[in-house]
Amino acid sequence: MTGSPPPRAEVGRLAATDRLVGRSPLRLVDARNGAAPRLATAVRLGVRGGALLVRFDGRDRGVVATLTGRDDPLWKEDVFEVFLTPHDPPTVYYEFEVNPLGALFDARIQSPDGRRQTMKADVSWNCPGFSARVRRRKDRWSAVLTIPLAPLGGEKTAAWRANFYRIDRGDTEEYSAWSPTGADPPDFHLPGRFGYLALSG
């Protein structure tokens, strides 16, 4: 529920041969009220080689994706999103997105008041080494994002703030989150609702 404290998760270290698919998943819920979503999405996490690896697996009943350029407005179509920061409170955070076509978006967000009205997004910022692999199958799509931590200024940080999101477009639009923001219409840029990640050293 949105009135409850933000969630917490332990993020283990991955050996070279370890796969994310075997990890226990986080489940996304309705971003507005924490209810079960229409389309299930699982998120699995791990740390390897100085990077956070994030795997999304989402059910889908029709992919909506046409954008292919770096930093295109991917949130206007189907997308998986990661908001991440080593700062607490999260007055500066980083946004990472991938769509079903493998297009990438990243930005540095300044949010001194934790509200959309006063935030500033620097879309010209690109995270060195940020990448994603996408797989599409019948009635689902998956993506593994690799997010290097050093460019975020937190390579030695064990405690992170984060949220994981999904937008599914179509006849019925759905906004999912790990930590629901409680905003209606949905708004992901509420860093006070970010959950807590404890990264293994």
In CATH, 25-199 is 2.60.40.1190: yes
* Residue matched to tokens 């967000």: 109
- Quote the tokens at residue 99: 């769509």
As a whole number of angstroms, the distance between CA 132 and CA 56 comes to: 11
- Domain borders along the chain are 25-199
Q: In this predicted structure, what is the pLDDT of residue 30?
A: 97
Rg (CA), the chain: 15
- pTM score of the predicted model: 0.96
pLDDT by residue, tens only, the chain of 201 residues: 557 899 999 999 999 999 998 899 999 999 999 999 999 999 999 999 999 999 999 999 899 999 999 999 999 999 999 999 999 999 999 999 999 999 999 999 999 999 999 999 999 999 999 999 999 999 999 999 999 999 999 777 889 999 999 999 999 999 999 999 999 999 999 999 999 999 986
